[in-house]
A = this chain, B = another copy of it.
Amino acid sequence: MINITFVDIIDYIGTFAFAISGIRLASQKNFDLFGAFIVGMATAVGGGTLRDIMLGHSPFWMTQWVYLAIVAFSLLVFIFFHKGIHKVSNTLFLFDTIGLALFTVVGYEKTYSAGFPFWTACIMGMFTGAAGGVIRDILINEVPLIFRRDIYALACGVGGLVLAAGLWLGFSDVISQLACALSVIVTRILAVKYHWQLPILKDDVK
């Protein structure tokens, strides 16, 4: 905890934004403080937890109390400032997007360095970024949002492919990761700004 790097700070900001997104939805379902904490935690660390389990590790947060503390802090922030939260929704969107970009990079790197092929790393990047939101929606008993709206997980997929391409073209790790993060952020911002949507699948049942 003494040496907090720039990457750590981004990680914490992303965790905060993800936790707030879970806590907001929990509050709309009239969850109690405990329920809101759990949903916030699941949103923030759920994707990384699934990734670690699939890679055969124990989840990363089990040895680092800082993630628990950030979710607790998010809950306090929400309790005291929820009335003003819509005023900072642009800031929260930015935090969320930055977090999404970092989580994609982390998911990719952990998977790729464990010896899996690049496309598995891309998928695990998407998992790390987007699966927390799916777990959140399952816990609040809603159809997962990212299956119906928005370019969200797909932005992680784009980032993963950029990272793979960067490494394949011989760029350094750091350059490739920065390009990955940037492409996640740009894709996500453009998608929201221009209301990009994937086509909805046509129903075959009348």
Interface residues, chain A, with chain B CB atoms under 8 Å away: 23-24, 26-36, 38-39, 49, 53-59, 62-63, 65, 68, 78-79, 82-83, 85-86, 116-117, 119-120, 123, 134, 138-144, 146-149, 153-154, 197-205
**Interface pairs A-B: 9 shortest CB-CB:** A35-B147, A32-B198, A27-B201, A82-B204, A141-B143, A31-B147, A33-B198, A36-B201, A62-B120
Check B141–A31 contact: CB distance below 8 A. no
User: Which one of B55, B119, B204 lies within 8 Å of A86 (CB-CB)?
Assistant: B204
Q: Which residues of B lie under 8 Å from residue A148 when comparing CB positions?
A: 29-32, 35
What is the CB-to-nearest-CB distance from A189 to chain B, in angstroms, rounded to a whole number?
18
Which B residue's beta carbon lies closest to that of A199? B33
State the majority secondary structure of interface residues on A.
helix
Check B204–A24 contact: CB distance below 8 A. yes
CA distance A55 to B59 in the complex (A): 8
Check A59–B54 contact: CB distance below 8 A. yes
Check A32–B204 contact: CB distance below 8 A. no
CA distance A116 to B119 in the complex (A): 32
Q: Which residues of B lie under 8 Å from residue A142 when comparing CB positions?
A: 141
Which B residue's beta carbon lies closest to that of A144? B139
Q: Given A54-B58, A54-B62, A62-B54, are A34 and B143 also a contact pair (CB < 8 Å)?
A: no
Which B residue's beta carbon lies closest to that of A197? B32
Check A27–B198 contact: CB distance below 8 A. no
Q: Which residues of B lie under 8 Å from residue A63 when comparing CB positions?
A: 116-117, 120
Q: Given A35-B146, A38-B147, are A30 and B203 also a contact pair (CB < 8 Å)?
A: yes
Which B residue's beta carbon lies closest to that of A33? B198
